[in-house]
């Protein structure tokens, strides 16, 4: 996908500029004035939007010019050889994080964590069964530590009577 590769930095930079514009636009509605606070709540978000805009515009300029020094990500951030299917795995993992958030209360901490652990273990090249086994031990340990050791509540979910 050579076309996409050229445009990706431009799209990203444009997104940064758009975000800055949206923030600034929203900030213009913060119209409260106190005599003791001449600056008001508007100014600081504007500063943030300004920094985003400057950075975004500079990147946009570099991106449109194409291939200047500033555009290429620094080598330190360059990933090791990506594996095929990496994008799918990242998508799956992110979705599973969100699913975990919604399943935590109904399923309970231990059950939800075992499921998530098994799935992630699979994505990281382990097997579902071994992942579930390690996950069970780990989740149990965390549950005991948090609920009994630290007094922090974790949902019991399906084990609740």
Partner 1 sequence: MEALQHLSDGFAVALAPLNLSLALGGVVVGTIVGMLPGIGPINAIAMLIPLLFAVGLPPESSLILLAGIYYGSQYGNSISTILLNVPGTASAVVTAIDGHAMTKAGRGGEALALAAVSSFVGGTLSVLGLVFLAPALASWAIRFGPAEYFALMVFAFSALSSVSGKSVARALAATGLGLFLATIGMDPNSALPRFTFGQLRLFDGLDFVVVTIGLFAVSEVLLVLEQTEWAGAAASRYGRVTVRFRALMASGWSMARGSVIGFFVGVLPGAGGTIASFLAYSVEEKMAGDSGRFGDGDERGVAGPEAANNAAANGAMIPLLTLGIPGSGTTAVLLGALLGLGLAPGPLLIERNPEVFWGLAASMYVGNVFLLLLNLPLVGVFVRVLRLPRWVLMPGVAALSFVAVYAVNQSAFDLVLMAGFGLLGYTMRKTGFPLAPVILGLVLGPLMEKNLRRALALSGGEWGVMFSSPLAVALWVLAAAALVLPWLLNVRRRARFRAAR
Q: Name, in order, each residue with C-beta under 8 angstroms of 119's C-beta and a sequence gap of 6 or more.
A: 92, 96, 128, 131
CB 13 to partner 1: min, Å: 9
* Alpha-carbon gap, residue 23 to 52, rounded angstroms: 10
Candidates 7, 55, 136, 156; binder of partner 1 (CB under 8 A) is 55
- From the centroid of its chain, how far is CA 82? 20
Neighbours of 154 (CB within 10 A): 17
- The answer for residues whose C-beta is within 8 angstroms of residue 154's C-beta and 6 or more apart is 109, 142, 143, 146, 147
In the complex, the smallest distance separating the C-beta of residue 161 from partner 1, rounded to whole angstroms, is 20
Contact pick of 2, 4, 80, 160 for partner 1 (by CB under 8 A): 80
Contact with partner 1 (CB under 8 A): which of 101, 129, 144, 158?
101
Residues 106-125 that bind partner 1 (CB under 8 A): 109, 113, 116-117, 120-125
Specify the residue, 3 or 81, whose C-beta has the smaller distance to partner 1.
81
For the bound state, the minimum distance from the C-beta of residue 3 to partner 1, rounded and expressed in Å, comes to 18
Q: Which helix (H) or strand (E) holds 11?
A: helix 2-27
Between 4 and 81, name the residue whose CB sits nearer to partner 1: 81
- Member of 18, 48, 64, 144 binding partner 1 (CB under 8 A): 48
């Amino acid at each position: 996908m050579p076309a996409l590769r050229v445009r990706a930095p431009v799209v990203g930079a444009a997104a940064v500029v758009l975000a800055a514009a949206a923030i600034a636009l929203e900030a213009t509605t913060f119209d409260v004035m106190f005599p003791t606070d001449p600056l008001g709540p508007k100014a600081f978000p504007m500063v943030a939007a300004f920094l985003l805009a400057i950075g975004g515009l500079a990147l946009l300029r570099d991106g449109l010019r194409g291939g200047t020094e500033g555009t290429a990500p620094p080598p330190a951030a360059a990933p090791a050889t990506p594996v095929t299917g990496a994008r799918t795995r990242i998508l799956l993992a992110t979705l599973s994080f969100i699913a975990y958030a919604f399943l935590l209360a109904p399923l309970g901490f231990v059950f939800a964590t075992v499921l998530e652990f098994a799935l992630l273990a699979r994505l990281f090249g382990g097997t579902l069964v071994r992942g579930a086994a390690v996950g069970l031990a780990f989740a149990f340990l965390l549950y005991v530590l948090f609920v009994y050791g630290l007094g922090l509540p974790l949902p019991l979910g399906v084990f609740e009577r």
